[in-house]
């Protein structure tokens, strides 16, 4: 598994744990927390992490292509 995949997994898990801990630690809200509500938070946090990762990969690829384009133009100008 790549370094980026480990980062995504760690970020997702820590975000979910942090969100659940924050929700459970609020005493007045404790009675309003349901399994369905927690499940929804986990699903949205996971979906958000995946969407963020995909956007990052897309921007990395776009940046690489733009850099390669300008590098090839620069090399062609020197010939």
The model's pLDDT over 7-60, given as tens digits with 9 standing for 90+, comes to 777 777 887 787 777 767 766 665 677 788 778 888 888 888 888 888 888 988
Q: What are the C-alpha distances in Å from 25 to residues 13, 18, 20, 32, 43?
A: 18, 10, 8, 12, 20
Model confidence at 1: pLDDT above 80 = no
Q: Structure pTM?
A: 0.52
């Amino acid at each position: 598994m790549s370094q980026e995949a480990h980062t995504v997994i760690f970020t997702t898990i820590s975000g979910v744990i942090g969100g659940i801990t924050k929700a459970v630690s609020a005493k007045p809200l404790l009675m309003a927390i349901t399994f369905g509500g927690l499940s929804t938070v986990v699903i949205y946090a996971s979906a958000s992490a995946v969407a963020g990762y995909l956007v990052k990969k897309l921007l990395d690829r776009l940046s690489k292509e733009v850099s390669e384009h300008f590098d090839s133009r620069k090399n062609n100008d020197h010939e």
